[in-house]
Amino acid sequence: MTLPIICTTLLIEKSPQALPLGAACIASAIKNCSELKDVVEVSLKAFSIEDEKIQRISGENKNEKIAEYICDELLKITNGRKSVVCLSTFVWNVRILQKAALILKNHNCICIAGGPEITAHPGFYKEFDFTVSGEGEISVPEIIKKILGFEQLNKVIISESPDLALLKSPYLEGIIDPAEYDGALWELARGCPFKCAYCYESKGEKTVRMFSMERIKAELELFAKKKVAQVFVLDPTYNVNKKRAIELLRLIASKTPDTFYYFEARAEFIDRELAREFTKIPCALQIGLQSANEEVLKLVNRPWDKKKFLKGISFLNEEGVTFGLDLIFGLPGETFSSFRNGMDFALSLYPNNLEVFCLSVLPGTDLFDRAEKIGLKYQKEPPYHVIQNKEMQPGDFKRLEKLAKACSFFYNEGRAVPWFNSVCKCLKMNGTKLLELFYDKIISEHPDIGKCCEHKMIEKTQLDFLCKLFAERKLEKYFMVAEDIIKFYGAISRTTDTGKQEIIQLNYNAEYIASEYASDIRWFAENIKMQKSKIQTFMNNGNADFRVVK
């Protein structure tokens, strides 16, 4: 009789970006272990917090109830047989999976846990029979062999890093089907040459191990065959090696020209040649700025060359590469106003999206070890958010959370990049001031507004808010231009998204609204005659375009 082994996890959301890749890698390693081949049956069973049945769970003891649901589903597979359950833990699921392990152990299951949370706390979580700190592809099959041989073994295992050349791809092995998730997480490398103090890599080996080109090519061919719509590249320093980055971009362009790629990149290492190469495939870059305060970045061991950073961003903007920026609030040395200035700096660079996060002091990081000494107070439970640093009180954190929410709704969801800076300039207001006003006047009055994700509705909210704001400042005569550019770019972005045509009415000639002239709203209103026009948006060779209609 074979031993059932289930690799499982609880994902944070249901999205093409949330794939059980860690659990699938372990399943692949077990499946490919020659000594286990004929004696185990491996399966992958992932859950998501956004699964309909889990969403319906509410009330007191919610985590217990979710754990019970997960166990019921897993026990349907094991059917009372002695089994092994491998659990992949993260900050958002560890409490639930701890509870699940307690239940599973009473049903003939042996629980092995791994993942970032276990790696951060080797030996801390007693609910699991075995915990594996680090990459699990070598240790987990070893543990299973010993379980089968009734051998004694340590409960806490510090795993060695596997040779990536020996690992089989869970995609190529058919363990995980990207078509099922409408996307793929694509691992190109493990490790990072940097040591940012707040990251798990801060105590890593500082070496980067690459997957072979042979595996990469085969995975790309599979993505092409499966017509994968989007791929999230897992390589925190994709472009540090420019030669390899360009080689991969060319490979991507030749094998999967229609797939959309998301990369994490360092702006300091982008030159014009690389920026141009990014324009040859459908893609977006996410760039970790984290803080625009050099002193703060030094304190978290993330030296920053502002000049090179700005140069890299200007190459992206000039070549028309879509990119977003990340900022973290609560870093040591960051004050409320220095963070706000950093946000204004980031917004001035025209990012497509600006993601603003609260710092998490993750166990297992260099920052965690130094937290007390440098005056960081943080939640002792996941997600370990900072609640106070030496420079900011809890009240400042609340204000920054509000700013983050306003940015997410007004700027990101509201697709404000083409007009945000022009509107701020016209109002003679910093971007963060505008976002704070939006929070106070709109979000605080309608806390559920963030749940609205239809862009047309968001645009209406933006226009109503701005109409009042322009009026309060006696700038009504400029609002007509602002309204046009918001409506124009909104319609273009929706057509890009859906491919559907749209008809909109403008106050000015659409050609002028679409031109550089409209970037200076005051100048435009004072120099260009009003001329009502109606336009229709449509798709033209893969890009949204418009024509004037009667």
* Contact positions vs ligand SF4 (CB under 6 A): 192, 194-196, 199, 201, 236
Cα separation, 381 vs 364, whole angstroms: 14
Q: How far is the CB of 122 from ligand SF4 (least distance, A)?
A: 20
Minimum CB distance to ligand SF4 smaller for 188 or for 199: 199
Most distant CA pair in the chain, distance: 86
Cα separation, 390 vs 178, whole angstroms: 45
DSSP string of 21-64, one letter each residue: HHHHHHHHHHHT-TTTTTTEEEEEEEEETTSHHHHT--STTHHH
Beta carbons of 507 and 530 less than 8 angstroms apart: yes
Q: How far is the CB of 203 from ligand SF4 (least distance, A)?
A: 10
Q: How far is the CB of 304 from ligand SF4 (least distance, A)?
A: 12
DSSP collapsed to 3 states, 229-285: CEEEEECCCCCCCHHHHHHHHHHHHHHCCCCEEEEEECHHHCCHHHHHHHCCCCEEE
Q: How far is the CB of 366 from ligand SF4 (least distance, A)?
A: 10
Q: Give the orientation angle of helix 213-225 with respect to helix 242-255, to 10 degrees.
A: 30
Q: How far is the CB of 28 from ligand SF4 (least distance, A)?
A: 23
Eight-class DSSP state of 449: G
DSSP collapsed to 3 states, 313-376: HHHHHHHCCEEEEEEEECCCCCCHHHHHHHHHHHHCCCCCCEEEEECECCCCCHHHHHCCCCCC
Minimum CB distance to ligand SF4 smaller for 286 or for 509: 286
Minimum CB distance to ligand SF4 smaller for 103 or for 362: 362
Cα separation, 409 vs 158, whole angstroms: 42
User: What residues form DSSP beta bridges with 109?
Assistant: 83
For strands 377-378 and 386-388, give the pairing. Answer: antiparallel
Minimum CB distance to ligand SF4 smaller for 274 or for 481: 274
Torsions phi, psi for 528 (to 5 deg):
-110, 135
Residues near 151 by beta carbon (within 8 Å), at least 6 away in sequence:
none
Minimum CB distance to ligand SF4 smaller for 194 or for 232: 194
Q: How far is the CB of 199 from ligand SF4 (least distance, A)?
A: 3
Q: How far is the CB of 194 from ligand SF4 (least distance, A)?
A: 4
Q: Give the orientation angle of helix 420-427 with respect to helix 336-347, to 10 degrees.
A: 120
Q: How far is the CB of 204 from ligand SF4 (least distance, A)?
A: 8
Q: How far is the CB of 21 from ligand SF4 (least distance, A)?
A: 16
Torsions phi, psi for 428 (to 5 deg):
55, 55
Residues near 58 by beta carbon (within 8 Å), at least 6 away in sequence:
none
